[in-house]
Amino acid sequence: MSDWTDTRPMSPHTTIWKWHLTMASSILHRVTGVGNYIGIFLVVAWLFATAVGPDYYEPLSGLIGSIWGQLILFGFTLSVSYHVLNGVRHLFMDAGKGLNPKTGSFLAGLVLVLAVVVAVGIWMLAGLVPGVDPLRLTGQA
Amino acid sequence: MSKPQASLRTPLGKVRGLGSAKHGAGHFITQRVSAVALIFLVPWFLISLIGAVRGGYDGALAWVADPVNAVLILLAVGASLYHMRLGMQVVVEDYIGKHSTKAVLLILNTFICVALFAITAYAVLKIAIA
């Protein structure tokens, strides 16, 4: 509330807590959720531009193809990848599985690593990583 | 008010809408049901989109025009918007204390998600049915 007058630190006491993996993972889940909220604007804009015509599609395509566009797109890919994988972990936790500290930290770390692997993998498959094109897509179009 | 009060909350507290609105379980469940759907829809969307964007404008058009793709795009974006509306609602409720700001942001959240769905539906239907 805006009339909060208690000067004692408020939960989760981020200033005095020792950072640990499950805490970071919980915060990251929320951060990536908000990131995906912003990112879907790009997906909807892309669909809209496709429906309206090349006059809209080409400029948007150029924007996404620029250095900044690619950075944002990779951030979005990473954000989606993390949120989906960590979401699966959350569903297991909702079922009461993997809640002891050791398993919890292990799975949180695993999701973190897998998210990067999956995001990079998608980019390699999509031929977005220079010099890598396993599906030979560059010849199409 | 002839009956004895079953709860400790005052009538004024209930009218102000503070505390449980008795919809918490519904929010929890729908958030997770949409999450389960997205576990399947998001990977499909990402993998399927890869081929589409590589084909330029014509490739994108052909991708959306495919009947199966059109339905799955609507499901994937629709479930995402539904899921993110619930998620953003919790973020706003957690961090925004001021009543008026909170109300405005919650309404805005709903408007944004519904508007994005309307745009998606227009785009997909226009391409797929044309």
**Is residue A10 one of the residues assigned to a domain?**
no
Interchain CB contacts (distance < 8 Å): A and B: 99
The confidence score (pLDDT) of residue A141 equals: 42
Contacts of B39 in chain A (CB under 8 A): 84, 87-88
Please choose, from the candidates A116, A57, A83, the residue with its C-alpha nearest in 3D space to the C-alpha of residue B58: A57
CA separation for the pair A68, A42 (Å, rounded): 13
Q: How high is the pLDDT of residue B22?
A: 67
CA distance B8 to chain A (A): 22
Higher pLDDT, A44 or A138: A44
Residue with the two structure tokens 């700001």: B101
Q: Is residue A69, in this structure, part of any structural domain at all?
A: yes
Decide if pLDDT at B91 tops 80.
Answer: yes
With beta carbons less than 8 A apart as the criterion, state whether A26 and A37 touch.
Answer: no
Contact flag B50-A43 (C-beta cutoff 8 Å): no
Helical packing angle, B99-129 and B67-95, nearest 10°: 180
Residue B63 confidence (pLDDT): 95
| Residue B37 in domain | yes
Beta strand spans in B2-130 (E)? none
Q: For residue A133, what pLDDT is reported?
A: 77
Whether B69 is in a domain gets the answer yes
Rounded to whole angstroms, the Cα distance separating B128 from A68 reads 31
Nearest to A30 by CA among B89, B103, B115: B89
In a domain, B59, yes or no: yes
State the pLDDT confidence band at B3, using cuts at 50, 70 and 90. low
Predicted local distance difference test score (pLDDT) of residue A14: 66
Reported as a pLDDT band with limits 50, 70 and 90, residue A7 is confident
Q: How many structural domains does chain A have?
A: 1
| Domain that includes residue A101, residue range | 21-125
CATH number assigned to the domain comprising residue B56 = 1.20.1300.10
Examine residue B95 and state whether it is found in any structural domain, yes or no.
yes
pLDDT (0 to 100) of residue A134: 76
**A38 touching B (Cβ < 8 Å):** no
What pLDDT digit, counting tens, does each position of A67-126 carry?
999 999 999 999 999 999 999 999 999 999 988 999 999 999 999 999 999 999 999 888
pLDDT of residue A42: 96
Report, as an integer, the average pLDDT of B20-29. Answer: 78
In a domain, A132, yes or no: no
CATH number at residue A35: 1.20.1300.10
- Asked if residue B8 belongs to a domain, the reply is no
Mean pLDDT (chain B, rounded): 89
In a domain, A76, yes or no: yes
Residue B7 forms part of a structural domain: no
Report the alpha-carbon distance of residue B100 to residue B93 in Å, rounded. 12
Q: Does the pLDDT value for residue B53 go beyond 90?
A: no
pLDDT at A76: 97
Of the residues B58, B80, B88, the best mutation for testing chain A's interface (the one with the most A CB atoms within 10 Å of its CB) is B80
Between residues A4 and A113, which one has the greater pLDDT?
A113
What's the residue count for chain A?
Answer: 141
pLDDT for A114: 97
| B41 inside domain | yes
How many separate domains does chain B show? 1
Indicate the SS3 state at residue A91.
helix
Q: Would you call B54 and A48 a contact, using CB atoms and an 8 Å cutoff?
A: no
Task: Answer yes or no: is pLDDT of B89 > 50.
Answer: yes
A18 falls in which pLDDT band (50, 70, 90)? confident
pLDDT tens column, B116-126: 999 999 999 99
What would the two tokens of residue A137 be? 């897509």
Residue B4 lies in a domain: no
Percentage, residues of chain B above pLDDT 90: 69
* Domain range for B57: 23-129
pTM score, whole prediction: 0.85
Please check whether residue A140 lies inside any domain of the structure: no
